[in-house]
Structure 1
Amino acid sequence: MFEHLDLHALLATYGYWVIVLGCLLEGETVLILGGMAAHQQVLDLWAVIAVATVSGMFGDQLLFWSGRHFGGRLLPRLKGQQAAIERVTGLIRRYPSTSVLAVRFMYGMRWVGPVVIGASGLSPLRFTLLNMLGAVLWATLFVCGGYWAGDALEHLFGDLKPYRLPIVLGVVVLVVAVALLRQRRARARNVAPLND
């Protein structure tokens, strides 16, 4: 079925666009795969980091401004995200600067975090500077992690070219499974009966 699928050509043609879209969403899986593609010399390592940094920063800026302008109306409507909203609200009260950096790395906070921070009244300049730093750290960490994972897999299995598609599918399935498990646990915590 996949013998005519040229993954190398697809990644070389659309890889950077996939990274842009992935970074506007959650992004970590895409960054790991982008790092692995850079290891295989399908994409350029520094270009992947740059694209991921700019895309991740842009997405969080949009969310921050949404929170700044619509947070009062938007946040109460996010019923399923109340635990995350409360967590970020507590974090921003205690550690305003650190929270801007931290929410990017906290599972389930990537979308809600910048909206809550925007609604908190944090200075836009302060958010932008910290968001830029956070985006550079986030992109570099995950892309390099993918690059090093590609290197480790190549040491274990030799030439990875014949295994590109199974590796990509395996990473995606693993990340989706972990995300579903975390979501299920979070949902179970939110509906657990309160003990008197």
Structure 2
Amino acid sequence: MDTLLQLLEMVLHIDKHLGVFIDQYGNWVYLFLFMIVFVETGLVLVPFLPGDSLLFIGGAFAATGAMDPWLLGVLLFVAATTGNTLNYWIGSMIGTKVYERNWRLLDRDALRKTHDFYEHHGGKTIVIARFVPVVRTFAPFVAGISQMTWQRFQLYNVVGAFIWVVLLVGGGYLFGNLPIVKQYLNVIVLVGLAAAVVPIALGALWKLLTRGRRRVVDPQGK
């Protein structure tokens, strides 16, 4: 039990423990990081895992020579694409029944919000969601439930995973070891998330406002 709690604490605070893990387990770190990203994107029950900070910190350690940046990038890309694929498959198998039952382990509010987000933004949600925690985990699940075609899903899945990994691992590789970045990593991550989410939220709000105006001008929708 204590070992499990220690492992969970290490996963949730990867920025503090990754160096220790590399020192103790060497190349097993690649499998460790692969599994965190795969599980976060592949299982809708664990949306709390630290995907963004993990990629950034991984890139920072790769810049020091502790890991191979190319191997790290490829493995995380594979983890992100296969994780999303598993999540899509689970959603397509369950179907709309997920909305009809009260699942204890499933965050229904997050599911509903992601579904609404998906309805507004369509396939590009799969790409955009890569940069939005929680939504990132639910987006492929909702795509599966909504019966998005396999080919269309995989196109957005691959593109989104590539951009996500390149930007965050690359950003960590280039800037992760700067003292100011190390000191204010959490703030930087939050600012980055805000930069991704705010334009989306403003766009959705604008659509709602313009739709409301149309209804006022033409209440019968003609």
Q: Which runs of 5+ in 1 are unaligned?
A: 157-166, 179-196
Match among 80, 85, 99 for residue 56 of structure 1: 80
1:108 is aligned to 134
Report whether the alignment pairs 1:46 with 2:70. Answer: yes
Report whether the alignment pairs 1:30 with 2:44. Answer: no
2:119 is aligned to 93
The answer on whether the counterparts of 2:22 and 2:29 sit within 8 Å (CA) in structure 1 is no
- C-alpha change, 1:13 and 1:96, in structure 2 (3 Å) is same
Bigger mean CA deviation after superposition, 120-129 or 65-74: 65-74
1:119 is aligned to 145
Q: CA RMSD in A?
A: 2.9
Between the aligned partners of 1:18 and 1:141, the Cα distance in structure 2 is 21
Secondary structure at 2:141 match in 1 = helix
Letter in 2 for 1:99: T
Between the aligned partners of 1:112 and 1:7, the Cα distance in structure 2 is 29
The answer on whether the counterparts of 1:40 and 1:150 sit within 8 Å (CA) in structure 2 is no
CA offset at residue 78 of structure 1? 4.3
Report whether the alignment pairs 1:128 with 2:154. Answer: yes
**Deviation per residue, 1:69-113 (Å, 9 max, x gap):** 113233543466233222222222232121111222112112222
Relative to the length of structure 1, the TM-score reads 0.69
Between the aligned partners of 1:10 and 1:51, the Cα distance in structure 2 is 20
The answer on whether the counterparts of 1:32 and 1:143 sit within 8 Å (CA) in structure 2 is yes
Find runs of 4+ consecutive structure 1 residues off by over 6 angstroms: none
Across the two proteins, how many residue pairs are aligned to each other? 158
Between the aligned partners of 2:163 and 2:30, the Cα distance in structure 1 is 19
2:91 is aligned to 67
Q: Identity, % of aligned pairs?
A: 23
The answer on whether the counterparts of 2:56 and 2:169 sit within 8 Å (CA) in structure 1 is yes
> Which structure is higher in RCO with an 8 Å CA cutoff and minimum separation 6?
1
The answer on whether the counterparts of 2:56 and 2:176 sit within 8 Å (CA) in structure 1 is no
Letter in 1 for 2:32: V
Between the aligned partners of 1:7 and 1:66, the Cα distance in structure 2 is 32
Secondary structure at 1:110 match in 2 = helix
Between the aligned partners of 2:61 and 2:92, the Cα distance in structure 1 is 37
Aligned pairs (5 A) from 1:1-20: 8-10=22-24, 12-20=26-34
CA offset at residue 34 of structure 1? 1.0
The answer on whether the counterparts of 1:81 and 1:112 sit within 8 Å (CA) in structure 2 is no
Between the aligned partners of 1:19 and 1:43, the Cα distance in structure 2 is 12
